[in-house]
Structure 1
Amino acid sequence: MDRRQFLKFGSFITVSVASGAGLSACGGSDGAPGGALPPASGAWKFPQSVASGDPRADSILLWTRAVPAAADNVATVAAGADASIRLIVTSADNSKALGGNAALSGTTVADVTLPLQAQYDNTVRHKLTGLSAATVYYYQFIAGDNRSNVGRFKTAPAADADVSQLQFVYMTCQDWSVNHWGAMTSIAAENLDFIVHLGDYIYETVGEDFQLGAVESRHDALVLPDGVFKNGSSGARYANTLADYRYLYKKYRTDARLQALHERFAFIAIWDDHEFSDDAWQDAQTYDGSFNADGSDLHQTARRRNANQAWFEFMPADVSLDAANTTFQNIKIYRDFQFGKLMQLVMTDERLYRSDHIIPESSVNPATGKALGRIGARYLVPQDLFNSVEAQKMAGAKAIGLDPLTTATILGNTQRQWWMDKMKSATATWKLWGNEVSLLRMGLNGTDAVATLLAVGAVSGLATSVGSAAAAAGGNFAVAGAIVAGVTAGASAGVAQAGAVAIATAAAGSGAGGAGSGTATTEALVAAGVKTGLTMAQASIAAATFVKVGASAAGGASGVALAAVAAQTIAFGYIKPDVQAKKAESPFVAVSGKKDALSAFFTRFLLNCDQWDGYNSERKALMSHLKTNAIGNVVALTGDIHSFFAGTVNDDYDATGGGTPVMVDLVSAGISSDSFFSYLRDAAASLGDIGTLVSNPLAVPVPGLGTVSLSFNLLDYTIGKAAPTLASLAEQTRVQLRGALAAKGVPEAQLEATAAAVLAGLQANSDFNTSLLGLAQQLSALGNNPWLKHLNTDAQGYTLVTLTPGRLTAQFRQVNKLVAGAAPATIVARTTTATVTAGAAAVAIS
């Protein structure tokens, strides 16, 4: 056999060169050629269809799974007689055959006999080389009397080719057990060169809390062959054995929509965490309460190896698994791709080599004496504590002669150097990075947030007090507001009243003739108040309130509106600054009756330390490498967090002004997984007022249906979204409202009209147009994370990228919710476009 034509990779990858018909390939653990095995005979089927992956200028990795027609579609193949099947490949146009199993037409460039082995669950991985660059091919497998569906792939352009445009989708987070996969139907209709999958292709858990929401009826309940209870002897289970992980891939791949994507486009895939275990690092699981007796994380080497093998068997990726390697690091999936002079695509592995979370989940919470678990270790982590522990870990590594980042790394030392080398040597115009977890800083100033919440909470009571004072002051809301302001700032009622009268007199004495409408300077009004016994701070807020209310009265406002103006001026002009300055010692914290509950929040937090925020020093090292070497046009394509984000990755987010932008990160929402907003909404529900930073419930009346309960997304504004208008705040909830109406039984044909009518009515609702709008605007004014240019934390969908030498355009495609237990007929709800122009580390949103 000519070794120029046939090579053996790993234990069951086969390879051949496209050079005409009649080829057979080497493969199998014993090295026997496929042709040495008896051909499959009789009736067969391909229950997971076909797939292609890792397109290069001269090669592709092709995949299928074939079983006898009578076999169960997802059961593990029992040990038995192995057989051989055929693979046919042609460059002739067979586009009309896509979606079916009609025989391929045209001259073949390969007709290969391949081994089908029970030890690999009858999966086949075949690498075909010798292909032409930038060419569309069609392929089909034949087992016994049956043909698979037709598959299609396109090879990459030659490395030295001038490429005017590439178009591809990147996708992530496709939980079988919640929401719907309608996005895949939309993706299948796109005109793409390939698809990038950023991980969470499967979810290792079944019956977890976040998987108990509404799901399309065509996705039945998953039943792991073995499975282990996460806690106790009931509830959620997680995959543990090779059979468990194989089952998940097989079950997911029975969905015809996912099959259609694999049939039409080559995938370039990496994993994230759920291909093994949620928020995993190396071979350690991090489920709450799952620790060793000594408090350390539970390492599960066998489980990690099972997860590795199942991914290797079922994903069409041109990588090798070393069965002789007895560690959990027996596979290397990080790799890069060249698409002409236009793009270098670098795909990383951010789970297999990462060190433990900087603050381990097993760390003891001094307040409870129990392990921290997720909150405090991965989520809502005090930034000062994080910085201190990271510095200690790095110093410890350095002290024993290791690279300081060894104990504070996502990539691991070897992969980090590989990444740096690839970026430095890349000659393409664009350097894109398939990056599992977001590089964007997502911080929260807890002091400002608590101060804002206490101020918001005080508005209603202050407005009532102003109304009462106005009734006693002959309807003069400006004077009433000044009185309440002085009292709020600590003055006695008598001194506050005298000060307010003095301020009004000074204003009237300016010659304008109307209380609150004179031309006296604010300084003069403050001075008048101080003369009556008000302190400077008391007189300042009293005068400011008097002026604001007077201006509103002059503009035609009256009654309740004037009381609201006074209340907001006092709340945000005095209460909020007082809490910001004094923190837990502010009297307004004590008055709230929640001092103990709130005291822990007077600090800065990192929202998600499973992301790059939890490995800040390594992120800074990577950005320094790009900046020092003048490596531009770097854009990360990111998944994991079930949201759409766009922003700049800066060299040092903790520097004055947030540092210098170096590259851009574009984060895509998940295909179906519940949103980041929904996770935090549920987690924050037990935190009292703090939960208002995330969500605000509102019962919305719907004629003929009663009310619809919505959870308005305030998380976006807390993290950094621009202040909304009344119209944009209403529009933000359209997708959620549409889903809630569908759940109430509104037919899909009526959803848009009904939603439009409800949103119009909502904008006339004072709870919405005053209270909720004001709260969202105040949270936006916190100014957290100004490098974030777009965020939508309550979404499902995918991202379509169009790349040219001059710009990268990413269309964030948000999808609609379930309708009557099925994916909606109108799949895409809205498209937001992020544009990165070559030569600038910046992103524009439209």
Structure 2
Amino acid sequence: MDRRQFIKFGSFITVSVASGAGLSACGGSDAAPGSDLALASGAWKFPQSVASGDPRADSILLWTRAVPASADAVAAAPAGADSAIRLIVTAADNSGALGGSSALNGATVADVRLPLQAQYDNTVRHKLTGLSAGTVYYYQFVAGDNRSNVGRFKTAPAADADVAQLQFAYMTCQDWSVNHWGAMTAIAGESLDFIVHLGDYIYETVGEDFQLGAVESRHDALTLPDGVYKNGSSGAKYANSLADYRYLYKKYRTDTRLQALHERFAFIAIWDDHEFTDDAWQDAQTYDGSFNADGSDLHQTSRRRNANQAWFEYMPADVTLDAANTTFQNIKIYRDFQFGKLMQLVMTDERLYRSDHVIPESSINPATGKPLGRIGSRYLVPQDLFNSVEAQKMAGAATIGLDPLSTATILGNTQRQWWMDKMKAATSTWKLWGNEVSLLRMGMNGVDAIATLLALSAVSTVTTSVGTTAAAVGGNFAVAGVIVAAVTAGASSAVAQAGAGAIAASAAGGGSADAQAAAGVSAGLTAAQAAIAVATLAKVNAAASAGATGAALAAVAGQTIAFGYIKPDVQARKADSVFVTASGKKDALASFFTRFLLNCDQWDGYNSERKALMAHLKTNNIGNVVAITGDIHAFFAGTVNDDFDATGGGTPVMVDLVSAGVSSDSFFSYLRDAAATLGDIGTLVSYPLAIPVAGLGTVNLSFNLLDYTMGKAAPTVASLAEQTRVQLRGALAAKGVPEAQLEATTAAVLAGLQANADFNTSLLTLAQQLSALGNNPWLKHLNTDAQGYTLVTLAPGKMTAQFKQVNKLVGVVAPATLVARTTTATVTAGSPSVAIS
């Protein structure tokens, strides 16, 4: 580090070599900061406990924060004379001491004196080198008369070591203010080599809409020391000052479950957006309504620097903050790790260098004359518009001599080349990528979706019409279905009746489907009218042969007509379809007749750069690449293809495994609330279920249809019920059912639900039809309504990732039965594919 940087941070960034007792820490090469400070005396405490990070074969980064025993745990460190504390490290087994502050046993490999300074909020970050590879160590800090809890870490295996197995968990999105942190208890009980944290370690907002749901009682309300109102002079606030960001890390780290994770396992961490601001790019804030007078995004360099420094001070990461750099890019957190011959782990920063969203939030909506905001820029973005704007931006960069990706990048030019070089040079069996936002294409064909919804909404009306017509033709549901089918397709009543007679007669005489259609045309039907009439007759007759009668036959006819004629007509004619006009919602639906990208804050919003990275892997035959991803509050597994826009979706190149958040509200819940304002379009996301439960009244659920719209396989009644289990269990708990009775009560309610016609017919048909849209066939698993974490077991021949979904709150506490279900994704070496079990 240069001299100016050392002057400010030299006494904070300390390094020593593990070679025995009595060492002093050395910051840089200039001096031994801390050696001239008196050791702290009296009563002290470690309110955020201890932490370790960035395990390498010969080093570790160790962290703590110590304050006088009388000091507030989350207030700024009291000003006054700086002092020093001790760090003690041993390789002796002290596993029995974890969770407590008893003195370490065994010979020490380091006894280091470290400075404790109020200007860094009494945090300590110390790099210990000279360690042995693949070794478990225990450590403890001593301040005055008090010891910290015991910590443990394991160094990485040597770069040339043959490693049979690694096991680690990855986690993300731990909002203090909603749901619970029980997942951390489950993670602490796993047998791990380390933990990867993919960001959103803190949330910068307090009192935001998405933070007002149920939360465990042990998480009290947050109060930012300074804070800025998001809108006006009331409501939600966001962190702005260094004190605000420090406060959040301190408060989050007071939870003993998070402390236990840091005490037991070394973290490899990066940030995402909420460590600074939601959906951040560089130093820009993207809250709706927060624009400059000219409509451009609001850049907040000072706020970004505060966020950087607080992350640097509180995260045990082996990185440096450049005090001489006065820009917001004063820290570099992208880095890589080697774990023997088995794994190279590459961690990227996808916020600090990314260009603006391709369609900026500040773009003026011509319909309103106001900035576009989130919808249409980051979320639910018309794909053709996105492609056009991205091409224009890249062409503009090229005309002024820049790399075309400079204006459409997540990584930035320097980091992108670093990533390519690291991947190409990697010699390990597996190349894992600690990736903040998903690489998977998540799109939706709006035309097919609207056609499906309009067909679904027509089923009831058409079914009723078939029943009425059947009564008029002597109870013959087959003939009635034919008549209604022809009328629905545009035939007059007289022509429909004539056609029905001709078709029925042909069928009765053994005529083929073609012969029946020809008879209908001869009676005056058009070819299209005859085709749907014949198809309806066949379906109704088949159902009758299977034993269906009356209303059931009418329902078969109604579904056949709706999905056999109405849906294809809307798909073909779009807004010009008579069924769109008849719905009375033509104007409201007009903008949805296109393809959409659901989330352009992730890699779908930087499509050309994604294609460049995949081309690099493909051209250089770089295999066994798997991204481990967070951010979106959902579990996903699928392949990342070279070009999702190519015929068939392109060729798989690597795999992306996305973990749900620890506690943050799910992706489904966000879209459910947003879609609720869009009328019938909201049915693509959720379906209301009102379930009567004896002794409790009605339990109201929002069934998750987003999964099926996005590509989940068509369900059975049983799998549909199983999908409901976790949400139902949580709703029953909220109604006061004791946890000891929750499993049995949930099972009983689910059994009854499967017999409910609204569930086993209406909802089942809806889910099956949405699944048939065929969106995103590369997605092999998706669960958009979940909290949890992912456990990875890596061996030379395969990688297994266990998606562990946790149960919801029981009253105001985390559930005793934490893990609700486990879904396993398996990637076999040599194949860019993923199998789900």
What's the TM-score bracket when you normalise by the shorter of the two chains?
over 0.9
Equivalent in the alignment of 1:424: 424
2:531 pairs with 1:540: yes
**1:184-333 mapped onto 2 (5 Å cutoff):** 184-333=184-333
Aligned residues: 832
**What's 2:3 paired with?**
none
| Superposed counterparts of 1:101-180, under 5 Å | 101-180=101-180
Residue-by-residue CA offset, 1:440-472 (whole Å, 9 max, x unaligned): 000000000000000000000001000000111
Kindly provide the amino acid, as one letter, of the partner of residue 613 in structure 1.
D
What's 1:597 paired with?
A: 588
In structure 1, the residue matched to 2:62 is 62
Judge conservation of contact 1:8–1:26 (CA < 8 Å) in 2. no
Aligned position for 1:386: 386
Q: For 1:560 and 1:263, locate their aligned partners in 2 and report how far apart those are by CA, in whole Å.
A: 64
* In the alignment, structure 1 residue 709 sits paired with structure 2 residue 700: yes
Out of 708, 719, 726, the residue aligned to residue 710 of structure 2 is 719
Question: 1:560 Cα shift?
Answer: 1.0
Q: How does 1:32-47 map to 2 (within 5 A)?
A: 33-47=33-47
Q: Which residue of 1 aligns with 2:579?
A: 588
Deviation track 1:360-410 (CA, whole Å, cap 9, x = no partner) reads 001111122211100000000000000000000000000000000000000
State whether residues 10 and 33 of structure 2, in contact with CA within 8 Å, keep that contact through their aligned partners in structure 1.
Answer: no
Report the equivalent of 2:468. 468
TM-score, with structure 2 as normaliser: 0.99
1:16 counterpart letter in structure 2: S
Alignment-mate amino acid for residue 724 of structure 2 = T
Structure 1: distance between partners of 2:134 and 2:7: 24
Matches of 2:517 and 2:320, distance apart in 1: 76
State the SS of the aligned residue for 2:111.
strand
Q: What is the deviation of 1:77? A: 1.3
- Given that 1:7 and 1:15 are in contact with CA atoms closer than 8 Å, whether structure 2 keeps it comes out as no
- Does residue 639 (structure 1) correspond to residue 646 (structure 2)? The answer is no
TM-score (norm 1): 0.98
Q: Which residue of 1 aligns with 2:617?
A: 626
Does 793-802 or 368-377 show the bigger shift? 368-377
The residue matched to 1:428 in structure 2 has which SS?
coil
Letter in 2 for 1:753: A
| Matched letter for residue 24 of structure 1 | S
In 1, distance between residues paired with 2:178 and 2:43? 35
Residue 517 (structure 1) aligns with? none
8 Å Cα contact 1:183-1:798 kept in structure 2: yes
Instruction: Kindly provide the CA deviation profile for residues 488-508 of structure 1, in whole angstroms up to 9, marking residues without a partner as x.
Output: 000111111111111111111
Which of 539, 545, 551 is equivalent to 2:542? 551
Q: Deviations over 1:594-638 (max 9, x none)?
A: 000000000000000000000000000000000000000000000
Task: Choose from 774, 777, 791 the match for 1:800.
Answer: 791
Partner of 1:732: 723
CA distance in 1, matches of 2:263, 2:40: 23
Q: Judging changes above 3 Å, is the alpha-carbon distance between structure 1 residues 70 and 323 closer, same or farther for their aligned structure 2 residues?
A: same
Structure 2 equivalent of residue 815 of structure 1: 806
Whether the 8 Å CA contact 1:28–1:117 is kept in 2: the answer is no
Listed one character per residue, the Cα deviations across residues 277-302 of structure 1 (whole Å, up to 9, x for unaligned) are 00000000100000000000000000
Aligned counterpart, 1:479: 479
Deviation at 1:79, TM superposition (A): 2.6
Q: How far did 1:78 drift?
A: 3.2
C-alpha distance after superposition, 1:540-579 (max 9, x if no partner): 1011101110111111101111011000000000000000
Whether 1:752 and 2:743 are equivalent positions in the alignment is yes
For 1:419 and 1:442, locate their aligned partners in 2 and report how far apart those are by CA, in whole Å: 24
Structure-2 change in CA distance of 1:180 and 1:28 (3 Å):
farther
Match of 1:218, SS? coil
The Cα of 1:10 is off from its aligned counterpart by: 5.0
Query: What SS is found at the alignment partner of 2:581?
Result: helix
Alignment match, 2:348: 348
Q: Letter of the aligned partner of 2:823 in structure 1?
A: T
Whole-angstrom distance in 1 between the partners of 2:230 and 2:10? 34
Q: Show the counterpart of 1:3.
A: none
Unaligned regions of 5+ residues in structure 1, if any?
1-5, 511-519
| Residues 765-816 of structure 1 deviation map (CA, whole Å, 9 limit, x = unaligned) | 1110000000000000000000000000000000000000000000000000
Q: Is contact 2:71–2:78 with CA below 8 Å preserved after alignment?
A: no
2:714 aligned counterpart, secondary structure: coil
Q: Kindly report which structure 2 residues correspond to 1:14-29, keeping only aligned pairs within 5 A, or say none.
A: 14-27=14-27
Secondary structure of 1:34's counterpart equals coil
Q: Percent identity among equivalent residues?
A: 86
Match of 2:406 in 1: 406
Distance 2:370 2:472 in 1: 55
Look up the match of 1:649.
640
The DSSP-based 3-state class of the residue aligned with 1:36 is coil
Q: What stretches of structure 1 move > 3 A for 4+ residues in a row?
A: 6-11, 27-32
Supply the AA of the counterpart residue of 1:531.
S
1:450 counterpart letter in structure 2: I
SS for the counterpart of 2:596 is strand
SS at match of 1:637: strand
The letter for the 2-side match of 1:233 is S
Name the counterpart of 1:516: none
Whole-Å separation in 2 of the counterparts to 1:13 and 1:726: 59
Q: Which residue in the other structure is 1:446 paired with?
A: 446
User: What's the CA shift for 1:29?
Assistant: 13
1:677 corresponds, among 642, 665, 668, to 668
8 A contact 2:791–2:804 mirrored in 1: yes
* Residues 12 and 29, structure 1, Cα contact 8 Å, conserved in 2: no
Task: Give the aligned residue type for 1:188.
Answer: A
| Separation (CA, whole Å) in 1 of partners of 2:532 and 2:649 | 32
Matched, 1:780 2:771: yes
C-alpha distance in 2, partners of 1:7/1:783?
Answer: 60
Q: 1:10 to 1:730 in 2, by over 3 A?
A: farther
Tell me how far apart the structure 2 counterparts of residues 528 and 368 of structure 1 sit (CA, whole Å). Answer: 54
Alpha carbons of 1:729 and 1:221: their partners in 2 closer, same or farther (altered >3 Å)? same
The CA deviation string for residues 175-204 of structure 1, in whole angstroms up to 9 with x for no partner, is 000000000000000000000000000000
Distance in 1 (CA, whole Å) between partners of 2:292 and 2:832 is 45
Residue identity in the other structure for 1:214? A
Q: Which SS does the other structure have where 2:180 is aligned?
A: coil
Q: Which amino acid aligns with 2:112?
A: V
Instruction: Give the C-alpha shift of residue 30 in structure 1.
Output: 9.6
SS at match of 2:110: strand
Residue 35 of structure 1 deviates from its aligned partner by 2.1
- SS of corresponding position for 1:456: helix
Aligned 8 A contact 1:8 1:27 in 2: no
Does the 8 Å contact 1:291/1:297 carry over to 2? yes
Work out the CA distance in 2 between the residues paired with 1:553 and 1:47: 72
SS in 2 for 1:529: helix
8 Å contact 1:11–1:29 — kept in the other structure? no
Aligned to 1:61, the other structure's residue is in SS state strand
Q: Is the 8 A contact 2:11 2:115 kept in 1?
A: no
SS of 1:789 mapped into structure 2: strand
In structure 2, distance between residues paired with 1:183 and 1:17: 36
2:336 counterpart residue number: 336
Q: Is the 8 A contact 1:285 1:299 kept in 2?
A: yes
Match of 1:529 in 2: 520
**Does the aligned pair in 1 maintain the 2:166–2:795 contact within 8 Å?**
yes
**CA-CA distance at 1:38 after TM superposition:** 1.1
Q: What are the Cα deviations for residues 630-687 of structure 1, in whole angstroms up to 9, with x where unaligned?
A: 0000000000000000000000000011000000000000000000000000000000
User: Which letter does structure 2 place at the counterpart of 1:47?
Assistant: P
Deviation at 1:11, TM superposition (A): 5.6
Alignment-derived partner of residue 51 in structure 2: 51
* Deviation for aligned residue 1:509: 1.8
> Over residues 192-247 of structure 1, what are the superposed CA-to-partner deviations in whole Å (9 max), with x where a residue is unaligned?
00000000000000000000000000000000000000011111000000000000
Alpha-carbon offset, residue 702 of structure 1: 0.6
The two structures, once aligned, show a CA RMSD in angstroms of 1.2
For 2:758 and 2:262, the matched residues in 1 are separated by: 48
